[in-house]
A and B are shown apart, each in its own frame.
Chain A
Amino acid sequence: MKALTSKPEEHFILTEPFFQPLGAEIPLFEAACANRLPVLLKGPTGCGKTRFVEHMAWRLRRPLITVSCHDDMTAADLVGRFLIIGGETVWVDGPLARAVRAGALCYLDEVVEARKDTTVVIHPLADNRRELPMEKRGELLTAPPEFVLILSYNPGYQSILKDLKPSTRQRFVALEFDYPPPELEQRILEHETGVEAELARRLVRFAGMTRNLKGSGLDEGAGTRLLVHAGKLMVAGLEPVIACRSAVTLALTDDPEMIAAIEELAGSVF
């Protein structure tokens, strides 16, 4: 029986990802890592949580394994499974097992989307045991000091059924993220897209208006990620209103009246 594991060097981030801290998130994260504490990132979609993790992986020079959780994801998807390859039974590590073996940062994005059985493997890794039970292999992996477990979730639109349980959240050091203040968000857009300052300022104003609609027809306003998309389309030569429609409006809603209203906002701001 063989076991396939990935090469950790494939997961290093070699160039610095742009990240503008809003507060003490970098020293907090560094202190959590030094103390082998897992980290929970809370905040709306598109506000920079994933970028922050990438930046910290680069900063700490550790491999990063990111898992985008979805509602079909089970504990086995995280830990690994046996496969028949060429008539031979092969064990293939899941991303969480790979991260533990490599002493990597393991980022479970939108963790509440995953099935509830994933807590069976998350909990022992997230408390002082720092162990990953691999039942199918009869193996108990102990995480090296470099391993850090990071979860993210968005408290804004998770349903009660998909909320993070206290028994899970109370194992983590929590960092709260939000949309950056307008001046900073404008600088991020200029840096990430090359869009000129006035257009970036208007994009940020437009985003602020959509964020006002949270709970009044929208689950979420436009995150910084969507603004980066819109800015890139503008730099590619598209009219701002057209860029906003494709990159922002249609990504936010399918409701025809809401689409019309947001388009009017874009037409008024640009």
Chain B
Amino acid sequence: MRATAALTADQLEEHLEHLLDAALNPRMTVTAAAAALAGCCRSDQDQVLHWVGIMARTNPQSAWHFARQAAGALPLLGRDGLGRWALKALDHFDRQGLRAALAVLENAPGEALLLADDPRAARLEDVRGILDTFLCALSGRRLELASASRPCSDTRTLYLPPRLDLLPTRADNELLYRALAAFLWAQTRCGTLSPELAPWLESHPEPDVLARRYFTLEAQRLQALLQRLLPGLLRRLTPFFPMSSPPHWAMELTRPDADARLSRTLAWGRSHWEPPPLPFWQGDWDWRAAATVMQRELAREQRLLRQIVAELFTARGETPVRLDGAPRLTAQRTEHPEGWSVTLTLDGRPMIPPEG
């Protein structure tokens, strides 16, 4: 017959020492954890020891932190929540390492808030793996996903809310996550957030007013684009968010060849137009953050180009290109009867462009 009496602090300490042997040292002991857990019922104690064992097999240090926090977390999280909390920490350890796992383990109250959601809610942490793959399939490269209250993109990272409960079921809210991710991906991929956007907006006396007109028009263009690219996704979304049409003077935005320049032209010219609010699935925008990221990326790529060009010179046994400014790189386009060609010259000498 299974014993139901709670374990004493000494018994718990013995169990924990056995499980966490690899992590223990004079500064990291299990005495405090065992003392705290001694006040729990046997079922809770068993549950904690079960998860400590699982975590210790992946990372004993995380498991030690878990054990230390477990007694305090149990009233907040409950027994089921405790397991989800441990799994989340393990998942963070696998993806981002120890520091990320410890951040989860130090935040039991925050986890409790997330777990307190009703069953309709979808959580970013639960759908992150599928969204990662979904976005990679769309774009051919990994895009970073991060949690933020306001869904938007800075061209490098897609920010999505930590949980969504707008729609009636969890499956619907997971669908909303995918729709948001697809829309923000399209903003990044299809020219909405381009390097020329910030200078153009800042040339207007009221950049944010112009930005609102521009992003609303762009939402129409991207919606039409997604209807062509991912019709199934938008069809499933339509019962919750009926698809809108652009104003009659902006119908061209739905054409396959429309691009962001058309939205800029229309937004600039329609100064009296009051754009409607965007539906939630079309996210929000932060063009200043996007401009900062793009500038940083541009500078990084310029540095990389200079470095590659300098290596090319060195490989040819010549004086490296000036590093105090941009290399003297010119491109000469030549028209032929059968088309055109481009000749690249570096400091007046023809060159083969570096790979990548």
- Whether the pair B136, A268 counts as a contact (CB closer than 8 A) is no
Whether A267 contacts B232 by the Cβ 8 Å rule is yes
The number of chain B residues with a CB under 8 A from chain A is 19
| B interface: dominant SS | helix
**Contacts A209-B138, A212-B140, A216-B142; A268 near B133 (Cβ below 8 A):** no
A261 contacts B232, C-beta separation under 8 Å: no
The interface residues of chain B lying within 8 Å CB-to-CB of A210 are 137
Taking CB atoms and an 8 Å cut-off, the chain A residues in 223-253 that contact chain B are: 241
Q: Is the CB of A264 within 8 A of B136?
A: no
Interface residues on A, range: 20 to 34
Whether the pair B130, A269 counts as a contact (CB closer than 8 A) is no
The A interface is mostly helix, strand or loop, or mixed, namely helix
**Complex partner residue of A265 from B134, B140, B142, CB under 8 angstroms:** B134
Q: Which of B139, B140, B230 is the one whose CB lies under 8 Å from A268?
A: B230
Using A212-B138, A212-B139, A216-B142 as known contacts, say yes or no to A269 and B133 having CB atoms under 8 A apart: no
Q: Is A145 an interface residue (CB 8 A)?
A: no
Contact (Cβ within 8 A) B231 A217: no
Near A by CB (< 8 A), chain B positions 110-144 give 129-130, 132-134, 136-140, 142
Residues of B near A261 (CB, < 8 A) are: 129-130, 132-134, 137
A184-230: which residues lie under 8 A (CB-CB) from chain B? 202, 205, 209-210, 212-213, 216-217
B230 surroundings in chain A (CB, below 8 A): 268-269
| B61 CB to nearest chain A CB (Å) | 26
- A209–B134 Cα distance when bound, in Å, is 9
Inter-chain contacts of A270 with B (CB < 8 A): 231-232
Which chain B residue shows the least CB distance to A221?
B137
Q: A260 in the interface, Cβ–Cβ < 8 Å?
A: yes
B residues sitting closer than 8 Å to A (CB atoms) are 129-130, 132-134, 136-140, 142, 178, 182, 229-233, 236
Instruction: Across the A-B interface, give the 4 residue pairs with the lowest CB-CB distance, nearest first.
Output: A261-B133, A268-B233, A209-B137, A212-B140
Interface residues of A (CB under 8 A from B): 202, 205, 209-210, 212-213, 216-217, 241, 257-258, 260-262, 264-270
